[in-house]
Amino acid sequence: MKRFALLACAAAMAVSGCSTAGGGSGTASASDARGAALGADGRVPYASTYQRYPGRPTALVGATVFDGRGGRIENGTVLFRDGEVVAVGDASLSTDGYDRIDGAGKFVTPGVIDIHSHLGDYPTPSVEAHSDGNEATSPMTPEVWAEHSVWPQDPGFTRALANGGVTALQILPGSANLTGGRSVTLKNVSARTVQGMKFPGAPYGMKMACGENPKRVYGSKGRMPSTRMGNFAVNRQMWLDAQAYDGEKRDLGKETLKGVLDGEILIHNHCYRADEMALVIDMAKEMGYKVTAFHHAVEAYKIGDLLRENDICSAIWADWYGFKMESYDGILENAALLQKAGACVVIHSDDANGIQRLNQEAAKAQAAGRRLGMDIPDAEVVGWFTYNAAKAMGIGEMTGSLEAGKMADVVLWNGDPLSVYSRPEKVWIDGALMYDAMDRTRRPVSDFELGQPGEGDVK
């Protein structure tokens, strides 16, 4: 009963802001994280130390395969070994040398990816001592990095894996600030350190936020911004100052902003209202950066054309609405109408519970389209919580789809992932079996939960 104020809860929690820059190729190397100045030791600071765990050469056979990019294969075969997808095809693929897993009646998708999470920086238990997502002491904090707040023992990571099939996720600072700081993209693999979870080669993102939150937080402190026009004024001056940064004396915040202006750091912009998104698009043009994704874009359906023309993804819930003024016009058809306009759809969570059901949220959004007479194929809808998310996080060339050479981030579902009756049965990350519903020893338990009631339970 944590959320007694039913329809109000999201308002309090909804802090986010992301960017998407589409692009992002990136080779998986721990040493080339873009947008970070080298340290005194000549190395990338806080570099990923993630290493994949061992896995068996595996052949998933007989399942319906959604490849994440619109492809669907009945009675398909997915082969992976040494951490990579080797081949995806029909039943004619040879499985010699692979452990065969019978997927008859089951479904295979790429690992689920959440572009908007606060796991680790707003972890559970959500006590005050854990409130590390908003550096709400200045409306502009481009100098903070979410990874310095992430608690890798957040039990929420394990739920996202077991119930949601989540294999990668972007952790963002909150939305109290106009400019909230750098995001970090993680592999959803239990580790002792955040560096042990960092997705090798993922670009940084920077969180920005429109609208009510920044003006409320700072207006109530009697300082700028206290209005939407104040929001823009503060932002524009910040960009002007960043443009003038010469790098001679290091400035953490300006290094991040410069990274954005140089196209190395992707903007993830929390923004609900259509009119405000349109203003942000113009601000980006004025200042010379690109918005990769609008997050919580509940009114994106009103400007699908503008979003398509500017190559901006909308990261959205299926049905959250009405919890704050700027979410008043949320409708179930948001995703479908964006799809109709040819704009990019990403289903996100912003929530430690919602991240466990991104597939379900996508299915609800698909059904809303069906009622409009739009038949959005299941294989496209799977892309809303796999490839499209990866693309907008700049890791689309490494993961997010089942294609030869990509990371073997794979979910075997015990039924259609767009049905409420299905759950992940097995989840592989880089080819290693990290969750198995059939084997309770393949279920991570965070340090926090050891020795507690319910330790190791199904959850």
Binders in 410-439 for other proteins, by CB under 8 A: 414-415, 418-423, 437-438
Q: What share of the chain is helix, strand, coil (3-state, %, to 5)?
A: 25, 20, 50
Opening angle at CA 164, ends 109 and 367, nearest 5? 70
By beta-carbon proximity to other proteins, the closer residue of 148 and 459 is 459
Query: Read out DSSP for 376-439?
Result: --HHHHHHHTTHHHHHHTT-TTTSSS--TTSB--EEEESS-TTSTT--EEEEEETTEEEEETT-
* Residues 17-56 contacting other proteins, CB under 8 A: none
Q: Report whether 96 contacts 57 (CB < 8 A).
A: no
Q: Which residues contact 95 (CB under 8 A, 6 or more apart)?
A: 59, 61, 77, 79
Closest contact distance (angstroms) between CB of 352 and other proteins is 6
Amino acid of residue 68:
G
* Residues 231-290 contacting other proteins, CB under 8 A: none
Q: What does the alpha-carbon distance between residue 436 and residue 156 come to, in Å, rounded to a whole number?
A: 17
* Residues 63-82 contacting other proteins, CB under 8 A: none
* Residues 134-163 contacting other proteins, CB under 8 A: 155-156, 159, 163
Judged by CB under 8 A, the stretch of 55-63, 258-266, 282-290, 360-368 that binds other proteins is 360-368
Closest contact distance (angstroms) between CB of 458 and other proteins is 4
Q: What does the alpha-carbon distance between residue 438 and residue 440 come to, in Å, rounded to a whole number?
A: 7
Q: What does the alpha-carbon distance between residue 269 and residue 438 come to, in Å, rounded to a whole number?
A: 40
Closest contact distance (angstroms) between CB of 354 and other proteins is 8
Instruction: Cite the DSSP H helix spans in 244-303.
Output: 252-261, 274-287
By beta-carbon proximity to other proteins, the closer residue of 236 and 370 is 370
Closest contact distance (angstroms) between CB of 454 and other proteins is 3
When binding is defined by CB under 8 A, the residue of 100, 148, 223, 370 that contacts other proteins is 370
Q: Report whether 114 contacts 389 (CB < 8 A).
A: yes
User: Could you tell me the two tokens for 430?
Assistant: 């880089």
Query: How many CA atoms are closer than 13 Å to the CA of 267, on its beta-carbon side?
Result: 28
Nearest Cα neighbor of 402 from 102, 89, 29 is: 89
Number of residues located near other proteins, criterion CB under 8 A = 75
* Residues 286-345 contacting other proteins, CB under 8 A: 301-305, 319-325, 328-333, 337, 341
By beta-carbon proximity to other proteins, the closer residue of 56 and 364 is 364
Q: Does 109 bind other proteins (CB under 8 A)?
A: no
* Start-to-end Cα distance in the chain: 17
Q: Does 175 bind other proteins (CB under 8 A)?
A: no
When binding is defined by CB under 8 A, the residue of 190, 339, 366, 399 that contacts other proteins is 366
Q: Report whether 183 contacts 267 (CB < 8 A).
A: no
When binding is defined by CB under 8 A, the residue of 360, 388, 399, 401 that contacts other proteins is 360
Opening angle at CA 224, ends 223 and 229, nearest 5? 150
Q: Which helix (H) or strand (E) holds 335?
A: helix 334-341
Closest contact distance (angstroms) between CB of 14 and other proteins is 9
Q: Does 353 bind other proteins (CB under 8 A)?
A: yes
By beta-carbon proximity to other proteins, the closer residue of 295 and 302 is 302
User: Could you tell me the two tokens for 118?
Assistant: 């606060």
Judged by CB under 8 A, the stretch of 2-10, 58-66, 70-78, 383-391 that binds other proteins is 2-10
Closest contact distance (angstroms) between CB of 365 and other proteins is 8
Residue 86's SS3 state is strand
User: Could you tell me the two tokens for 357?
Assistant: 């059901």
Q: Does 15 bind other proteins (CB under 8 A)?
A: no
Closest contact distance (angstroms) between CB of 2 and other proteins is 5
When binding is defined by CB under 8 A, the residue of 30, 367, 432, 445 that contacts other proteins is 367
Closest contact distance (angstroms) between CB of 357 and other proteins is 8
Q: What does the alpha-carbon distance between residue 24 and residue 440 come to, in Å, rounded to a whole number?
A: 37
* Residues 202-221 contacting other proteins, CB under 8 A: 212
Closest contact distance (angstroms) between CB of 362 and other proteins is 9
Q: Does 129 bind other proteins (CB under 8 A)?
A: no
Closest contact distance (angstroms) between CB of 168 and other proteins is 20
By beta-carbon proximity to other proteins, the closer residue of 254 and 357 is 357
| Per-residue exposure over 44-57, b if at least 16 CB sit within 10 Å of its own CB, e if not | bebbbebebeebee
By beta-carbon proximity to other proteins, the closer residue of 241 and 329 is 329
By beta-carbon proximity to other proteins, the closer residue of 85 and 176 is 176
Q: Report whether 277 contacts 299 (CB < 8 A).
A: yes
